[in-house]
Amino acid sequence: MKNQGNGGGKQAAGIRAAGMVEDGSAIGLGTGSTVLYAMEEISRRISEGMRVTGVPTSHQAAIRARAMGIPLATLDDFPVLDLAIDGADQVDPSLRLIKGRGAALTREKCVADAARRLVIVADEAKMVSCLDAVVPVEVIPFAVTPVSCAITALGGTPVVREGMKKDGPVITDNGNFIIDCAFGRIPEPARLESMIEALPGVLSCGIFSGYAGKTVVIVGGTGGCRILSP
Protein backbone atom coordinates (compact mmCIF):
# COMPACT_ATOMS: atom_id res chain seq x y z
CA MET A 1 0.00 0.00 0.00
CA LYS A 2 1.46 3.33 -1.05
CA ASN A 3 0.81 6.44 1.02
CA GLN A 4 1.87 10.01 0.54
CA GLY A 5 3.16 12.00 3.47
CA ASN A 6 2.97 11.55 7.21
CA GLY A 7 -0.83 11.43 7.29
CA GLY A 8 -0.88 8.57 4.80
CA GLY A 9 1.56 6.60 6.94
CA LYS A 10 -0.54 7.10 10.04
CA GLN A 11 -3.67 6.05 8.19
CA ALA A 12 -2.06 2.89 6.84
CA ALA A 13 -0.77 1.96 10.30
CA GLY A 14 -4.15 2.65 11.90
CA ILE A 15 -5.96 0.47 9.38
CA ARG A 16 -3.43 -2.34 9.90
CA ALA A 17 -3.98 -2.13 13.68
CA ALA A 18 -7.75 -2.33 13.23
CA GLY A 19 -7.21 -5.49 11.21
CA MET A 20 -5.84 -7.15 14.35
CA VAL A 21 -9.18 -6.74 16.13
CA GLU A 22 -11.18 -9.97 16.22
CA ASP A 23 -14.94 -10.41 16.34
CA GLY A 24 -16.30 -10.42 19.90
CA SER A 25 -13.24 -8.82 21.45
CA ALA A 26 -12.90 -6.11 24.08
CA ILE A 27 -10.27 -3.54 23.16
CA GLY A 28 -8.63 -0.48 24.64
CA LEU A 29 -8.98 2.70 22.60
CA GLY A 30 -6.12 5.17 22.93
CA THR A 31 -6.14 8.92 22.55
CA GLY A 32 -4.74 10.87 19.61
CA SER A 33 -4.79 11.38 15.87
CA THR A 34 -3.13 8.11 14.89
CA VAL A 35 -5.62 5.96 16.82
CA LEU A 36 -8.43 7.87 15.13
CA TYR A 37 -7.69 6.07 11.86
CA ALA A 38 -7.94 2.71 13.60
CA MET A 39 -11.25 3.71 15.18
CA GLU A 40 -12.64 4.72 11.80
CA GLU A 41 -11.76 1.31 10.37
CA ILE A 42 -13.20 -0.48 13.42
CA SER A 43 -16.40 1.53 12.99
CA ARG A 44 -16.61 0.46 9.36
CA ARG A 45 -16.17 -3.19 10.30
CA ILE A 46 -18.85 -2.86 13.01
CA SER A 47 -21.24 -1.57 10.33
CA GLU A 48 -20.55 -4.82 8.46
CA GLY A 49 -21.50 -6.91 11.49
CA MET A 50 -18.36 -7.27 13.62
CA ARG A 51 -18.97 -7.20 17.38
CA VAL A 52 -16.48 -5.14 19.41
CA THR A 53 -16.55 -3.36 22.76
CA GLY A 54 -14.17 -0.48 23.37
CA VAL A 55 -12.69 0.82 26.63
CA PRO A 56 -11.63 4.44 25.99
CA THR A 57 -8.59 6.00 27.66
CA SER A 58 -10.00 9.54 27.73
CA HIS A 59 -13.13 11.65 27.34
CA GLN A 60 -11.91 12.51 23.84
CA ALA A 61 -11.62 8.85 22.84
CA ALA A 62 -15.06 8.14 24.30
CA ILE A 63 -16.68 11.03 22.42
CA ARG A 64 -15.10 9.93 19.14
CA ALA A 65 -16.05 6.29 19.66
CA ARG A 66 -19.67 7.10 20.43
CA ALA A 67 -19.90 9.28 17.33
CA MET A 68 -18.61 6.33 15.28
CA GLY A 69 -21.03 3.84 16.80
CA ILE A 70 -18.43 1.85 18.74
CA PRO A 71 -20.02 0.32 21.88
CA LEU A 72 -18.20 1.34 25.06
CA ALA A 73 -17.54 -0.15 28.47
CA THR A 74 -15.04 0.34 31.30
CA LEU A 75 -12.35 -1.68 33.03
CA ASP A 76 -14.98 -2.56 35.62
CA ASP A 77 -16.77 -4.49 32.87
CA PHE A 78 -13.60 -5.84 31.21
CA PRO A 79 -10.65 -5.95 33.63
CA VAL A 80 -8.80 -8.00 31.02
CA LEU A 81 -8.76 -6.74 27.41
CA ASP A 82 -7.94 -8.72 24.28
CA LEU A 83 -5.78 -5.88 23.00
CA ALA A 84 -5.31 -2.14 23.21
CA ILE A 85 -4.57 0.21 20.32
CA ASP A 86 -2.69 3.37 21.16
CA GLY A 87 -0.09 5.82 19.89
CA ALA A 88 3.27 6.93 21.28
CA ASP A 89 5.44 10.01 21.36
CA GLN A 90 8.60 7.90 21.01
CA VAL A 91 9.51 4.22 20.62
CA ASP A 92 13.01 2.82 21.19
CA PRO A 93 14.52 -0.39 19.72
CA SER A 94 13.47 -2.36 22.84
CA LEU A 95 9.85 -1.20 22.31
CA ARG A 96 9.89 1.00 25.38
CA LEU A 97 7.72 4.08 24.98
CA ILE A 98 7.19 7.67 25.98
CA LYS A 99 3.52 8.64 25.94
CA GLY A 100 1.31 11.36 27.34
CA ARG A 101 1.30 14.28 24.93
CA GLY A 102 -2.49 14.11 25.10
CA ALA A 103 -2.43 14.10 28.93
CA ALA A 104 -4.16 10.69 29.11
CA LEU A 105 -1.11 8.74 30.27
CA THR A 106 -2.52 7.34 33.51
CA ARG A 107 -5.60 5.82 31.91
CA GLU A 108 -3.50 4.70 28.95
CA LYS A 109 -1.16 2.88 31.34
CA CYS A 110 -4.11 1.23 33.12
CA VAL A 111 -5.50 0.03 29.78
CA ALA A 112 -2.07 -1.12 28.57
CA ASP A 113 -1.65 -3.13 31.74
CA ALA A 114 -5.07 -4.75 31.32
CA ALA A 115 -4.48 -5.72 27.68
CA ARG A 116 -3.11 -9.08 26.57
CA ARG A 117 -1.50 -7.29 23.61
CA LEU A 118 -0.56 -3.64 23.22
CA VAL A 119 -0.65 -2.43 19.62
CA ILE A 120 1.19 0.85 19.14
CA VAL A 121 0.53 2.82 15.97
CA ALA A 122 3.30 5.23 15.01
CA ASP A 123 5.00 6.92 12.08
CA GLU A 124 8.70 6.76 11.31
CA ALA A 125 9.42 10.04 13.10
CA LYS A 126 8.51 8.42 16.44
CA MET A 127 11.19 5.72 16.15
CA VAL A 128 14.39 6.67 18.00
CA SER A 129 17.63 4.97 19.05
CA CYS A 130 17.30 6.27 22.63
CA LEU A 131 14.31 7.84 24.37
CA ASP A 132 14.84 11.56 24.87
CA ALA A 133 11.41 13.19 24.62
CA VAL A 134 9.83 15.20 27.39
CA VAL A 135 8.33 12.87 30.00
CA PRO A 136 4.81 13.87 31.11
CA VAL A 137 4.05 13.26 34.78
CA GLU A 138 0.52 13.31 36.20
CA VAL A 139 0.51 14.69 39.74
CA ILE A 140 -2.15 15.74 42.20
CA PRO A 141 -2.27 19.57 42.47
CA PHE A 142 -1.37 19.47 46.19
CA ALA A 143 2.02 17.91 45.38
CA VAL A 144 3.11 19.92 42.32
CA THR A 145 5.85 21.91 44.06
CA PRO A 146 7.54 19.06 45.97
CA VAL A 147 7.32 16.78 42.94
CA SER A 148 8.87 19.49 40.76
CA CYS A 149 11.72 19.84 43.26
CA ALA A 150 12.24 16.07 43.28
CA ILE A 151 12.26 15.95 39.47
CA THR A 152 14.95 18.63 39.46
CA ALA A 153 16.98 16.56 41.90
CA LEU A 154 16.70 13.61 39.50
CA GLY A 155 18.26 15.74 36.76
CA GLY A 156 15.07 16.83 35.02
CA THR A 157 13.67 20.22 34.10
CA PRO A 158 9.99 20.31 35.16
CA VAL A 159 7.40 22.65 33.63
CA VAL A 160 3.71 22.61 34.54
CA ARG A 161 1.81 22.22 31.28
CA GLU A 162 -0.41 25.21 30.46
CA GLY A 163 -3.75 24.89 28.70
CA MET A 164 -4.54 26.06 25.17
CA LYS A 165 -7.58 28.35 24.98
CA LYS A 166 -7.69 28.06 28.77
CA ASP A 167 -5.90 30.06 31.45
CA GLY A 168 -3.82 28.03 33.85
CA PRO A 169 -2.66 24.41 33.97
CA VAL A 170 -3.98 21.55 31.87
CA ILE A 171 -6.44 19.51 33.96
CA THR A 172 -6.43 15.79 33.20
CA ASP A 173 -9.54 13.59 33.00
CA ASN A 174 -8.66 12.58 36.56
CA GLY A 175 -8.63 16.19 37.82
CA ASN A 176 -4.85 16.49 38.13
CA PHE A 177 -1.98 18.51 36.66
CA ILE A 178 0.65 17.49 34.11
CA ILE A 179 4.31 18.33 34.69
CA ASP A 180 6.40 17.98 31.52
CA CYS A 181 9.92 16.91 32.47
CA ALA A 182 12.92 17.17 30.16
CA PHE A 183 15.78 14.77 30.98
CA GLY A 184 17.59 14.64 27.66
CA ARG A 185 18.70 11.11 26.73
CA ILE A 186 17.20 8.38 28.93
CA PRO A 187 19.50 5.34 28.76
CA GLU A 188 17.69 3.53 31.62
CA PRO A 189 13.96 4.16 31.11
CA ALA A 190 12.77 1.53 33.62
CA ARG A 191 14.93 2.99 36.39
CA LEU A 192 13.74 6.54 35.76
CA GLU A 193 10.12 5.39 35.51
CA SER A 194 10.34 3.66 38.90
CA MET A 195 11.99 6.66 40.54
CA ILE A 196 9.38 9.11 39.27
CA GLU A 197 6.39 6.92 40.08
CA ALA A 198 7.69 6.38 43.63
CA LEU A 199 7.33 10.10 44.39
CA PRO A 200 4.37 10.91 46.69
CA GLY A 201 1.64 12.67 44.74
CA VAL A 202 2.58 11.18 41.36
CA LEU A 203 -0.06 9.00 39.71
CA SER A 204 2.05 7.92 36.77
CA CYS A 205 4.63 9.09 34.28
CA GLY A 206 4.76 8.78 30.51
CA ILE A 207 7.56 6.19 30.37
CA PHE A 208 6.09 2.79 29.46
CA SER A 209 8.96 0.35 29.98
CA GLY A 210 7.17 -2.69 31.36
CA TYR A 211 5.05 -3.82 28.40
CA ALA A 212 7.62 -4.52 25.69
CA GLY A 213 7.01 -8.26 25.90
CA LYS A 214 3.42 -7.88 24.70
CA THR A 215 3.88 -4.84 22.46
CA VAL A 216 3.50 -4.79 18.69
CA VAL A 217 4.49 -1.55 16.95
CA ILE A 218 2.99 -0.80 13.54
CA VAL A 219 5.15 1.83 11.86
CA GLY A 220 3.51 3.67 8.99
CA GLY A 221 5.65 5.31 6.33
CA THR A 222 5.46 6.51 2.74
CA GLY A 223 6.05 2.95 1.53
CA GLY A 224 3.42 1.28 3.72
CA CYS A 225 3.80 -0.39 7.12
CA ARG A 226 6.36 -2.43 8.95
CA ILE A 227 5.72 -4.47 12.09
CA LEU A 228 8.01 -4.56 15.13
CA SER A 229 7.52 -7.14 17.90
CA PRO A 230 9.63 -8.75 20.65
Catalytic residue ranges: 108
Beta sheet of 202-205, edge-to-edge order: 157-160, 177-182, 135-139, 202-205
On whether the CB atoms of residues 97 and 208 are closer than 8 A, the answer is: yes
Residues 6+ apart with CB under 8 A from 108: 30, 31, 57, 86, 99, 100
Nearest to 109 by CA among 201, 193, 176: 193
| CA 71 – CA 89 distance, rounded (Å) | 27
The single-letter DSSP state of residue 143 is: G
